[in-house]
Amino acid sequence: MVIKITLPGETPVEILFYHPTFDVTQWTPLLQRHLPHARLRAWQTGDNAPADYALVWHPPHEMLRGRTHLKAIFVLGAGVDSLLSRLNEHPDLLPPGVPLYRMEDTGMAAQMQEYAVSQVLHWFRRFDDYAALQREARWEPLEEYRHADFTVGVLGAGVLGGQVAQRLRGWGFPVRCWSRSRKTYSDIESFVGADELSAFLRGTRVLINLLPNTPETAGIINAGLLAALDDNAYVLNLARGAHLVEDDLLSALDSGKVKGAMLDVFHQEPLPAQSLLWRHPHVRITPHVAAVTRPDEAAAFIAQSISRIERGDAPQNQVDVTRGY
């Protein structure tokens, strides 16, 4: 559905665009379908011309520096850590007083649900075990797992984590979540903060990580956390590579404490060819594709957000820079 947005006075809106792989010529007609007076230009070195808004992903330092007249900056993805992590090195990367917004959903929640549900069912139906038997040409029906013994714990219960948790609950799994604040999802246990982390981990068979990447959550999936999971646990990392201590996961896999891992994100991307994760028999890898920005839906969200700002209203999903999300 196309929502035509009319701005006061039909004033042209000047928008700077930077993304290392997206083509601005693809985004221009998509945004103009909703916001006809939007004028996008791809930022290039030396471009200091005025702009009202900026759409960015991994922007160069010099693109945003000093642009205090911007009305807002939109990050073209669910996470903002790639930008905020550079503030120590470049404190003036974000112009003071300019609000920063992240994508609310734009199709990412559905993608995360598909990814998480498909993998949890893969483990629950023991397809990993049957794949191992196939390699040995062994015909051997295995004992079924029971839903009651397959508790799924979701680290992070924001927009994406909450929807993943609710979708898995619909498949009959016991589901719990751990986050900064108490959640009230139906039939899902909610755990909060460091004091309740041990209780959250105890009895968790499948751990799904959808935490924001902040200094407090870096390295949270470490040897101590993995040891607190149920025996023969599974780990699904869909958030950021910084959350996982990869050597600790490999040790837990080798010891049998963790039975399998599905990883979409890594400390270094692309994952180096020499990484042991590539060759571990109980690790499956995808190249950071669990949920990608869909331009159609992102353009509609950005257009509506710009309309709200132009009319004096505050859009949703402003980033708290001090918290990191």
Residues serving a catalytic function are: 240, 288
DSSP for 150-177, written as a single string: --EEEE--SHHHHHHHHHHHTTT--EEE
Please give the Cα distance from 299 to 21 (Å, whole number): 16
CA angle 202, 206, 212 (to 5 degrees): 90
Please give the Cα distance from 262 to 255 (Å, whole number): 17
Range 245-258 burial, b when 16+ CB lie within 10 A, else e: bbebbbebbeeebb
Please give the Cα distance from 96 to 273 (Å, whole number): 41
Look up residue 279 and give its two tokens. Answer: 């060759």
Q: Are 239 and 210 in contact (CB under 8 A)?
A: yes
